[in-house]
Amino acid sequence: MKKSVVLRGSVIAFSAALLVSAGSAAMAEEEKDAHGIGVEVEIAPLAGPGALAMTVDGDSTTLVEGESTDLERVFSGTLPKVTVTDTRAPEDVPEDSFWYVVGTASNFHDEQKKSTIDASSLGWTPRLVEGEGEGTPFVEVGGDVSPSEPGLVDQELLYLAESGEANAGGGVFSASADLDLVVPAAVPAGTYSSTITLSLFE
C-alpha cells in the first residue's frame, strides 16, 4: 500500500507515519509475520500536475534480531523507500530553496503498553537510491544517526535536494535507510512498536 502526501506551497509540513515493530529475541522465529497494525497517515488530496509530493513505499517495517551479545540486543531493518516527486512548473519553484525530508521516532511500546523502549535506542543510516538521486550533486543524504548517539529522538535529515535543480533534473528522488535498534539485554521480552514520522518541508 502506498501512502502519499502532498506539499503545496512552501514551509508547510506534511507527514507520513510509519509503524516500526521489534520482536523480542525469545520469540524471534515467530517474528516472521509483520504486524499489520494500522497506522494513521494524513493524506492530502492526491498529487495532480504541479505539486511537490512525498510517497512512502509501505506503512510498516519489521526489525529482526541480528548479532546480539550478552549485554545488548541488536535488531535491524529497512525504512521503506521514500520518494519525493516534483511536478511543478519551473516558475512555481521558489528560488534558492531546497526541500528536505526529516524523520523522528516515537518511543516503542509493547502490546500491553506496559514496557517502553526509548526512541533514542533507534538509529538510522540514510542512503539514496540508484537512479533516483544517488551520485547527483544537488541531492544530499542525511548523516548517520547511531542508537543512543543520540538516536532518532529529534527530527533528523533523511535527505534533501536543491529545489530548482531537482525540479529541472527530473523531479523524482528517493531515499531509504537502514534502521538499527540497540537495547540492553535486560529489556523484557515482548512485541514493541514505534512510529517514525516522516515530514517533507521546503
**Nearest CB to another protein, comparing residues 57 and 144:** 144
DSSP SS3 for 168: helix
CB of residue 9 to another protein, shortest distance in Å: 17
Under the rule (CB under 8 A), what is the footprint of another protein? 98, 100, 102, 134-145, 150, 154-157, 160, 201
Q: Are 53 and 7 in contact (CB under 8 A)?
A: yes
CB of residue 113 to another protein, shortest distance in Å: 30
Residue 179 is classified by DSSP as: E
Q: b or e along 170-194 (b: 16 or more beta carbons within 10 Å of the residue's beta carbon)?
A: ebebbbbbebbbbbeeebeebbbbb
Q: Are 160 and 137 in contact (CB under 8 A)?
A: no
**Nearest CB to another protein, comparing residues 78 and 155:** 155
CB of residue 3 to another protein, shortest distance in Å: 21
**Nearest CB to another protein, comparing residues 65 and 202:** 202
Residue 55 grid cell: 510517497
**Nearest CB to another protein, comparing residues 58 and 169:** 169
